[in-house]
Chain A
Amino acid sequence: MRHVITLLVENEFGVLARIASLFSGRGFNIECLSVAETLDPTVSTMTIITHGDDQIIEQVLKQLNKLIPVIKVVDLVDKDFVEREMVLVKVSATEKTREEILRITDIFRGKVIDVGARTYTIEVTGDEKKMDALLTLLKPLGIKELVRTGRVAMARGSKAITELT
């Protein structure tokens, strides 16, 4: 089963390496990982998406907690949460397809952020399903390049991660 794990970690060198080596050393899989500083510059937040049965996920959470620079670990999967990702797509734009690309971009509330002689570069944010739908539509038109930020997630409601159990 897919799990979305959010972590607070010390913002110091080597933390990413510790987490990455924990996943590789113990054979846990990692679908995507994103990390950035929080308001408090000594703390970073990380979102990790992983797969595994209950026993594996229990180990993933415990092993993450065991790392000294990891301050807090929350598995969002049994909570209500929002999840977003940004993608940049460079699509071939011919005379025939220009209109169609703009229409799709509009439907997905995206933006054209760069125009080349034969391409549009589009920026779209959303959850995994939205991204998949967008890419399914754009693929036949010719995707030249695709970059995704990886997902970030946050629990719904008024509680911050520091207040979640």
Chain B
Amino acid sequence: MKKTGSQIIIECLKKEGVETLFNYPGGAVLPFFDELVDAPFHQILVRHEQAAVHAADGYARASGKAGVVVVTSGPGATNTVTGIATAYMDSIPIVILTGQIPTHLIGNDAFQEADIVGITRPCTKHNYLVKEIKDLSRILREAFYIARSGRPGPVLVDLPKDILVGSAEFKYPEKVSIRGYRPTLEGHPGQVQRAVHLILKSKKPVFYVGGGIISSNASRELFAFSDKLGIPVTMTLMGLGGFPGNHPLSLGMLGMHGTYQANMAVMESDLLIAVGARFDDRVTGKLESFAPQARVIHIDIDPTSISKNVKVDLPIVGDCKRTLSKMLSLIEKEDHQALREGLHKWHRQIESWKAIYDMHYQQEQIIKPQYVIEKMDELTGGEAIVTTEVGQNQMWAAQYYKFLKPRTFLTSGGLGTMGYGFPAALGAQVAFPNRLVIGISGDGSFQMNSQELATAVQYRLPVKVAILNNGFLGMVRQWQEFFYGKRYASSSLEGVSPDFVKLAEAYGAVGLRATKPEEVVPVLKKAFSIPEPVVIDFLIDPEENVYPMVPAGEPLNQMRLV
């Protein structure tokens, strides 16, 4: 039977199991929106296209499903770019459908025309311009397949208006075959065997795990591995939740604002087992002196991540989950008792680092941001889904909330996008309507997408936004204090931000405020009990800094501790 392009898209989305769309309409894409009126999808109308992508991203990170965004041509499409780049850097599966002017007008500088395929080429895993309706269903099938498989990522499909209204025979392609795209899932057996032997011979092994642990759903395998042998685990920002933060073998996060024991352990380790991580500069500090004594095993599904920054002794290209599970089954056949017993000394050394410096802060008469996060962690038992913006709020959340499970910490790690956290929280809440979702924010970041309060209220998404309000772009201020002679150029927001309580109320949400430490717990409790969107304005110490800190470009053991 013949169907219109718009109908074909809807059929394809159904076949892909899509339930939710984050969208914003406009001229070129109207034929598709017209068809959406009768379609069985949960549709969330955001207030800015950037937020649509962040929300789809939060939905994808929290649920493990692909997020889907529909926007119009021109400005609708260009507004998605920051969201797409954010998802690309963090390997999040999203499919973005953009309207486009009719094919015969492309290149004519028509109204609301933008070459979005050209613009997003470097920040998508792949993108398509549909030029003929006969290709439409194949392209959509490929788009979802590419977004979800291998190292996941955003895929954009540009849909000219004449394709949406044209008609063609619809046949859903059951199979996908792309000759230039065949991700390697199984690690090379010889390499896996060699890795097992390196581990059995090691004295000071450390797991260094990143976002790949989350995206390949490998946390159970990681836990079994680490627990069986007693190998300590440090996580990147993207890896948090991949291993329970309250486990004795958890070293916490490593890198620029990592824990003392994690950074020291990496510097002293004789075997670094990197899994789904990519040796980012915020993790390694000065490259030449990163993990100087360690041999490095690197498991990653993306060959380009291997030996990009750090020379790897034993690369394994493959899916993290499958590879870890294979390695563990091989280790179980070998004599691993000696390794386990030998690690006691290593554990004691790590304990001694913890005794030298553990995460802490000075409690004073003014609210400390770390205290707010600590209390959130206590009150939620580490069970909430937490999103962050970027900067100090992000680092304190990473340091003081003990994430226990994967897909509970959603943050823009690679691109570092302010404005990400609030819409991502909305997306996570859409995926899990009954779970507690907290968006940790700063007074600067929140204002980058605060218009989404309207979306939260419209769809009664009961997210809790906790603004750690210090009247500064805090991380900028911290760098200016440390490295720019306390010259606070363009970083103060004191007295020029809106009243966040009134702002929430203006949108029809609930606004709360805490100004003293003793108000923190009651306000949090109250917020958690309200089944509606709540914004909490925590007036915190304006000059609190994030510690420890490894200044950019210095070795990991050169930490500023106070």
**Interface set of A (CB-CB < 8 Å, partner B):** 9-10, 13-14, 17-18, 21-22, 25, 55, 58-59, 62-63, 65-71
Contact = CB atoms under 8 A, between A and B. Distances in A.
A67 B180 contact: yes
A62 B303 contact: yes
Given A9-B180, A59-B304, 12 more contacts: A10-B179, A14-B117, A17-B121, A21-B121, A55-B307, A62-B303, A62-B304, A66-B303, A68-B125, A68-B126, A68-B180, A69-B180
A66 B302 contact: yes
B180 A70 contact: yes
A22 B126 CA distance: 13
Contacts of A9: 180
A69 B126 CA distance: 9
A71 B179 CA distance: 6
Interface string B178-202: 1111000000000000000000000
Contacts of A22: 122
B146 interface: yes
Contacts of A66: 302-304
Nearest to A65: B303
A13 B311 CA distance: 36
Nearest to B304: A62
Contacts of A55: 307, 311
Nearest to B118: A17
B127 to A, nearest CB: 9
Interface in B119-145: 121-122, 125-126, 129
Contacts of B311: 55
A96 to B, nearest CB: 52
Nearest to A7: B180
Nearest to A25: B122
B308 interface: yes
A129 B428 CA distance: 61
B76 to A, nearest CB: 21
Given A18-B121, A21-B121, A71 B307 contact: no
Contacts of B126: 68
Interface in B381-399: none
Contacts of B303: 62, 65-66
Contact residues of A: prevailing secondary structure: helix
Nearest to B126: A68
Nearest to A55: B307
Contacts of A62: 303-304
Contacts of A21: 121-122
A68 B125 CA distance: 8
30 contacts: A9-B180, A14-B117, A14-B121, A14-B129, A17-B118, A18-B121, A21-B121, A21-B122, A22-B122, A25-B122, A55-B307, A55-B311, A58-B307, A59-B304, A59-B308, A62-B303, A62-B304, A63-B304, A66-B302, A66-B303, A66-B304, A67-B180, A68-B125, A68-B146, A68-B178, A68-B180, A68-B181, A70-B180, A71-B179, A71-B180
Interface in B126-178: 126, 129, 146, 178
B180 A10 contact: yes
A68 B156 CA distance: 13
Instruction: Please indicate which of the listed interface residues B146, B179, B307, B308 has the most CB atoms of chain A within 10 Å of its own CB.
Output: B179
Nearest to B306: A62
A50 B304 CA distance: 18
B169 to A, nearest CB: 22
A68 B121 CA distance: 12
B372 to A, nearest CB: 40
Interface string B307-338: 11001000000000000000000000000000
A55 B179 CA distance: 27
A43 to B, nearest CB: 9
A143 B146 CA distance: 51
Contacts of A58: 307
Contacts of B125: 68
A55 to B, nearest CB: 7
A18 B178 CA distance: 17
A35 to B, nearest CB: 15
B365 to A, nearest CB: 51
B321 to A, nearest CB: 21
B303 to A, nearest CB: 5
A92 B307 CA distance: 52
A65 to B, nearest CB: 7
Contacts of A70: 180
Interface string B106-119: 00000000000110
B57 to A, nearest CB: 21
A83 B218 CA distance: 47
Nearest to B181: A68
B136 to A, nearest CB: 15
A105 B187 CA distance: 56
Contacts of A67: 180
B419 to A, nearest CB: 24
Contacts of B180: 9-10, 67-71
Contacts of B117: 14
A10 B302 CA distance: 21
A17 B311 CA distance: 30
Instruction: Please indicate which of the listed interface residues A10, A17, A59, A62 has the most CB atoms of chain B within 10 Å of its own CB.
Output: A62
A59 B303 CA distance: 9
A52 B324 CA distance: 34
Nearest to A8: B180
A14 B119 CA distance: 12
B222 to A, nearest CB: 25
Contacts of A14: 117, 121, 129
Nearest to A73: B180
A55 B312 CA distance: 11
Interface in B289-313: 302-304, 307-308, 311
A21 B311 CA distance: 26
B98 to A, nearest CB: 15
A21 B122 CA distance: 7
A10 B180 CA distance: 8
A13 B127 CA distance: 12
A70 B118 CA distance: 18
Contacts of A69: 180
Nearest to A24: B122
A80 to B, nearest CB: 26
Contacts of B308: 59
Contacts of A65: 303
A10 B125 CA distance: 16
A59 to B, nearest CB: 6
A65 B304 CA distance: 9
Contacts of A68: 125-126, 146, 178, 180-181
